[in-house]
């Protein structure tokens, strides 16, 4: 039985999440196929076919798959259930939307946020906001996994391309229809791809003060994140939230500004390579995991940092 790695199509042809999912699949060690579901995915599928270790790329095309409606994509993926034992998704918003529907259709449990694969049926995943690791053994024949991207490196690219098979299928589950979408556009790198992130918390006091972080971010080429308190207070939009109920990141450098370091925030950033904390409270828990801590008022420190840069 083979492994089906499900690709999340994007027009930018960013293969990072897909390559990490393939890397995870390689730890299971049987034949790896990639499934791309979409409306016009030829360039994406061609790029994906160069991921090392992939047997073939299967493309399912239908106009309704041009939108990320989970019901339709899950319907298509479930049709492949007879041919595969493992179904691997990246633990992105889309993956977390589609995977449970596939698991539900197959009547099996889902293994979420997998950070290590010990064998074909033993997986490691964080529980209690990352304070403990659970080693779980699958008892069902079919395994549906979401993979935490920060825990896996990207599979290599190869000069040779795997075969690409295109199937045309009717994919309308008839359960949802696309109305509209509002995409946030930013010149900055995305939070999940950035190698440097500066995050602001409740200590920023309001949304306007995030411009202090933006000026430093511009000099460093950094992305900007936030704590949930900052999001809940309306300072910044919720796609910037990092933590247990936000995005999970592991950049080379994470600068936490006016963030106390609640476990739910740490769950989303504690695997960052170097952590810098700026906080006026020397007892703030963020200092316990920080590599560098600056105790002081962020409204003094951040302009100094900007000037120094």
Tokens of 44: 């994406």
* 238 assigned binding-site residue: no
- The DSSP secondary-structure symbol of 131 reads T
Strand-pairing partners, residue 38, are 61
- Interface with ligand FAD in residues 64-83 (CB under 6 A): none
> Which stretch, 95-103, 149-157, 186-194, 294-302, contacts ligand FAD (CB under 6 A)?
294-302
> Which stretch, 30-38, 140-148, 208-216, 272-280, contacts ligand FAD (CB under 6 A)?
272-280
* 265 assigned binding-site residue: yes
Does 251 engage in binding with ligand FAD (CB under 6 A)?
Answer: no
Least separation in angstroms between residue 245's CB and ligand FAD is: 4
Indicate the residue among 134 and 175 with the shorter CB distance to ligand FAD. 134
Mask for 151-190, x = binds ligand FAD (CB under 6 A): ----------------------------------------
**Gap between the Cα atoms of 106 and 295, Å rounded:** 52
- What sign does the dihedral 145-146-151-157 (CA atoms) show? positive
> Which stretch, 47-55, 73-81, 189-197, 255-263, contacts ligand FAD (CB under 6 A)?
255-263
Spell out where 115-230 has E strands: 116-117, 122-127, 132-137, 143-147, 163-168, 196-200, 223-226
Tokens of 1: 């039985």
**Gap between the Cα atoms of 77 and 99, Å rounded:** 9
Spell out where 54-162 has E strands: 56-61, 84-90, 110-114, 116-117, 122-127, 132-137, 143-147
Does 244 engage in binding with ligand FAD (CB under 6 A)?
Answer: yes
Does 265 engage in binding with ligand FAD (CB under 6 A)?
Answer: yes
**Gap between the Cα atoms of 25 and 2, Å rounded:** 10
Does 96 engage in binding with ligand FAD (CB under 6 A)?
Answer: no
Q: Total residues contacting ligand FAD (rule CB under 6 A)? A: 28
Does 192 engage in binding with ligand FAD (CB under 6 A)?
Answer: no
Return residues touching ligand FAD (CB under 6 A): 201-203, 227-230, 241-246, 258-260, 262, 264-265, 268, 278-281, 284, 297-299
């Amino acid at each position: 039985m083979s492994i089906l790695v499900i690709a999340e199509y994007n027009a930018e042809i960013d293969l990072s999440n897909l390559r990490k999912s393939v890397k995870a699949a390689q730890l299971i060690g049987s034949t790896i196929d990639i499934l791309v579901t979409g409306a016009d995915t030829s360039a994406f599928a061609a790029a994906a076919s160069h991921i090392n270790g992939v047997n073939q790329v299967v493309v399912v095309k239908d106009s309704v798959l041009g939108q990320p409606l989970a019901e339709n994509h899950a319907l298509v993926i479930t049709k492949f259930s007879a041919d595969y034992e493992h179904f691997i998704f990246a633990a992105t918003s889309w993956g977390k939307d589609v995977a449970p529907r596939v698991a539900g259709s197959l009547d099996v449990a889902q293994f979420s946020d997998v950070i290590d694969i010990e064998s074909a049926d033993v997986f490691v995943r964080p529980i209690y906001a990352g304070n403990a690791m659970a080693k779980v053994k699958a008892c069902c024949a079919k395994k549906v996994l979401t993979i935490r991207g920060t825990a896996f490196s990207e599979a290599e690219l190869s000069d040779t391309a795997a075969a690409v098979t295109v199937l045309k299928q009717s994919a309308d589950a008839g359960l949802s229809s696309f109305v509209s979408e509002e995409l946030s556009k930013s010149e900055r790198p995305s939070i999940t791809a950035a190698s440097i992130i500066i995050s602001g918390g409740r200590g920023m006091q309001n949304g306007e003060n995030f411009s202090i972080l933006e000026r430093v971010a511009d000099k460093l080429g950094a992305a900007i994140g936030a704590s949930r308190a900052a999001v809940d207070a309306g300072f910044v939009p919720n796609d910037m939230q990092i933590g247990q109920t936000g995005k999970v990141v592991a950049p080379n450098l994470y600068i936490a500004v006016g963030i106390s370091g609640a476990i739910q925030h740490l769950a989303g950033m504690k695997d960052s390579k170097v952590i810098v904390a700026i906080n006026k409270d020397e007892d703030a828990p963020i200092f316990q995991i920080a590599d560098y801590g600056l105790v002081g008022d962020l409204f003094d420190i951040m302009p100094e940092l900007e000037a120094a840069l």
